[in-house]
Amino acid sequence: MNQLESLKTSTTVVADTGDFEQIAQYAPRDATTNPSLVLKAVKMPAYRPLLERLLAAHPREATADIADRLLVAFGVEILKRVPGRVSTEVDARLSFDAAASVAKAGQLLALYREAGIDPARILIKLASTWEGIQAARRLAEQGVKTNLTLLFSLPQAAACADAGVQLISPFVGRIYDWYKKAAGSAWDEAAHAGVNDPGVRSVATIHGYYKQHGFRTEVMGASFRNTGQILALAGCDLLTISPELLAQLAASPEPAPRVLGTDRLPVAPMERLRLDEPAFRLALNRDAMATEKLVEGIRQFEADALALERLIDERRAALA
């Protein structure tokens, strides 16, 4: 049993990629995508025909609509290679508009139905802003499952659980990045490794909070910088892992024993948080790391969505 197989005994492994040709070799249950990953994949010559077929089939559609079709096309191909679910992200430019996010989710699900995909296999991905969480609440009331991303704090996680969100994706690596940058030359890598990594500690706290209060929302650690962060979260509900790190785990003969929920990573008892909009915004504002990484992530995804639309326009012009 290699390290990846060992990890799968305590955690559901999810592939974090838009490169669906890489997925099968690691046998994940689910897969996640985002605009950055799809943009990276569609630039590869192997995936260019996918975009060209969409442009040929829908020559008069707006660029934004072609982008939605492209995201869904990647999702459809991924679902041919995994037995579970795929996450498809709502445009980051709608992160502060709950009604528009709900409408966009409906459009994406309609495209999946058009392709013959059961909506139960789709997780609609939304940013963990107040508006994104309220959009998820409305979608949950409609029976739509969501994945709340760009999540960096317990208040965000608590609000997601109260909204009936199916799954959250706390970002381990980006939390680690912030604290490392903030510490500068004083950063001690060895002292902040494994269970002492600030991103790992954040996910452990959220996971413990959910288990203590009986929330059914799934916790999926995301955005890893190294396998040490992954192994320190063995036992988390799910972990979404890049192909590069999946390869490293598969190449290692070492075991991956459960850590989360054991004495190796204890979590103190916590009171339940009940947050209305003002309390949520205040709690988030008090956390400089979470506030900065949330807005930075939205800006990055917006930039990649715009870059994807430019690529579509360039390819349309080349084919004209």
Sequence length of the chain is 320
Per the residue annotation, which of 104, 125, 145, 293 is the catalytic one?
125
Please give the C-alpha separations between residue 92 and each of 11, 20, 149, in angstroms, as whole numbers: 29, 22, 11
Strands 122-127 and 86-89: what pairing? parallel
Q: Is residue 42 part of a domain?
A: no
Supply the CATH number for residue 156's domain: 3.20.20.70
* Average pLDDT value for the chain: 96
Which residue in this structure is represented by tokens 């802003």? 129
**The predicted structure's pLDDT at residue 305:** 95
For residue 246, give the nearest of 9, 24, 10 by alpha carbon.
Answer: 24
H or E element that contains 303: helix 288-319
Give domain status of residue 313, yes or no.
no
Is residue 142 one of the residues assigned to a domain? yes
pLDDT over 90 at 75, yes or no: yes
Largest CA distance in the chain: 63
Active site residue 125: yes
Query: What SS3 class is residue 61?
Result: coil
159-186 pLDDT, tens digit per residue, is 999 999 999 999 999 999 999 999 999 9
Predicted TM-score of the model (pTM):
0.96
The domain in which residue 158 lies consists of 3-27+90-299
pLDDT score, position 17: 93
Q: How many domains does the chain have?
A: 1
The two three-digit tokens of residue 70, written as one number: 């492209």
Instruction: Give me the pLDDT at residue 142, please.
Output: 97
